[in-house]
Structure formats: C-alpha cells, structure tokens
Amino acid sequence: MLRSSNPILSKQDAFTPAAPQQGQNPYAQQPGYGQPPVSTEPRMTFDDVITKTAVVMGLLVVSAALAWMLIPDALYMPALILSSLVGFGTVLLVSFRRNVSPPLVFAYAAIEGVFIGMFSKMFESYYPGIVVQAVIATFVAAGVTLAAYKLFNIRVTPMFQKVVILSTVAFAAVMLVNFIFVLFSNSAGLRGDIVGPVSLLSVGISLIAIVLAVLNLILDFDYIEKGVAMGAPASESWRAAFGLTVTMVWLYVEMLRLISYIRR
C-alpha cells in the first residue's frame, strides 16, 4: 500500500492496488514476485485524473463566474466569509472520508467557486486586469513545476515530504489564527489591507505561500504517478483531482495577492 504525504490524498486505502472482485479466486493467476495483483477492477490512469480535474475545476470556474455576476454588493462580505468557512469544512470532510465521494467533491467546487468569485471581484475592482494576470501566473507556475518534475526527474524523499508537510501545516495554522484575529478586530492582520502601503512581511508571507503551494504540487504529481504505477482503483482519481484542485486554488489566491503588491 502506498500512502500519500499530501493531507488531501493521504488515506488508508489511497493508491492501493485494486482488490479482486467478489467471487474471484484470490489465488488464481497469482502475479510473480514484485508484480501488482491481478484484478478486473478498473484502475486509475493519468487520463482519468486529467479529465476529472478538468471537470472539478470547470465547475469551480462556473460557480465563481455566477457568484461574480449574481451576488449583489450588499451580500458580498457575508458570501465571502461564509463560503470560505464552509469551503474549509468541506475540504476537511472530503479529506477524512475513507471513500471518495464525487458529490462532495462537486460540492466543494461549487462552494469554493463562490469564494473565488467574490475574492477575485474584490481585487479586480481595485486592480483592473489582475484576475487574468493571476490565472496566467497560476497555470504557468503549475506548468513549469510539472515540467521540472518530469525533466529533472525530481525524487520525493521522506525528508522532503516531512519538511513540506510540517511547513504547510504550520503555515495553515498561522493563517487560520490570523483570519480569526482579523474577523474580530479592526486590524488588517499579517496580510495587510487590499490597498495602501505594502509591507515586506506581507510580501514575504505570499512568497512563502507560493513556494509551499508549488512544493505541494510536486507531492501531488509524485503520488499520482506512483498511484497509477501501483494500479490504484479508478475511484481514487477523484481524490487526486480534488487534491490538485485544492492546491491550484491556493496557488491562485496567493498569486492574486502577490500581483496586487507588485502593482502598488
């Protein structure tokens, strides 16, 4: 069994070779030493992951566009806060389930789309054209990361995994505390205001977040590749699509912030 270091992909049964179907003789057609078990259950493929990731991200984009156009300005802030909290809860719910639930993955995409729509609209109102810039920057960063992973044959070692995971968890904890602090105070917190002077601290936090997001993409690519090689069940492609979407959303949000700092 292969367990992922990515919190989204790390499940007890994630990327485990597909089990024989009921009634199938487990001793029939035994593979040779070191070979994956023989099974008639469909297995995850790269095409599966790409297709399902495109579906999930497509739903997120549609939800974001509808939120941008239909939610009135009077409900902007409640929609932004509520969608961020519900989206975070949905991520936890999907992550801790033993079996992947496509409806929950779709629910996450729809809810997170509302957050992305409101968040993007806020930045676009102050910095026209910034959304297109952030989208391009996000996909360029992801493409360069994938190219580097393949061309330079990057190997994910246990130490690399541990450093990335601990750093990501620590960063998420700090940002959660900062979010709660901002909600219940008049302070702009560690990230600063959306307009006004830019602090080196705010820029530094965004740069750290982008680096962590890129490193998490490497973990995603590594474990998806290993999952396909080990013959993971086809249903696990939904978990892979979900993990990639969560990482890409995080990368986009941080690109949006960083570009706003640069444009000031």
Which tokens in the block code for residue 122? 């806020």
Proportion of the chain above pLDDT 70, given as a percent: 84
Q: What are phi and psi of 108, to 5 degrees?
A: -60, -45
CB 65 within 8 A of CB 117: yes
- What pLDDT is stored for residue 186 in this prediction? 77
Model confidence pTM above 0.85? no
The dihedral of CA 228, 230, 235, 238: what is its sign? Answer: negative
| Range 230-237 average pLDDT | 86
**Is 213 in contact with 253 (CB distance < 8 Å)?**
no
As a whole number of angstroms, the distance between CA 142 and CA 145 comes to: 5
According to DSSP H, which parts of the chain are helical?
Answer: 46-70, 76-96, 102-126, 130-151, 158-183, 200-230, 236-263
**What is the per-residue pLDDT across 177-231, written as a single tens digit (0 to 9) for each?**
988 888 888 777 888 888 878 889 999 999 999 999 999 999 999 979 988 988 8
Domain ranges of the chain: 46-263
Q: Which of 164, 146, 178, 151 is nearest to 53 (CA)?
A: 146
In our burial notation (b when 16+ CB lie closer than 10 A, e otherwise), range 147-156 reads: eebeeeeeeb
Structure tokens at 253: 């949000």
Beta bridge partners of 233: 43
pLDDT reading at 175 higher than 80: yes
Residue-level pLDDT at 198? 86
Dist CA 183 CA 37 (whole Å): 52
With tokens 């079996």, the residue in question is: 99
- Give every CB contact of residue 20 below 8 A, 6+ residues apart in sequence: 26, 37, 38, 39, 40, 41
Express each pLDDT in 124-150 by its tens digit: 999 999 999 999 999 999 999 999 998
| Cβ atoms of 142 and 217 closer than 8 Å | yes
Dump the DSSP string for 12-68: TTTTPPPPPPTT--TTTTPPPTTSPPP--S-B--HHHHHHHHHHHHHHHHHHHHHHH
Closest CA to 178 of 153, 152, 209: 209
User: Rounded to an integer, what distance in angstroms lies between the CA atom of residue 215 and that of residue 208?
Assistant: 11
34-38, 108-112, 120-124, 156-160, range with the lowest pLDDT: 34-38
Hey, what amino acid is at 21?
Answer: Q
C-alpha distances in Å from residue 48, one per residue of 32, 95, 220, 235 = 27, 20, 15, 9
Q: What is the crossing angle of helices 200-230 and 236-263, to 10°? A: 160
Band (pLDDT 50/70/90 cuts) for residue 123 is: very high
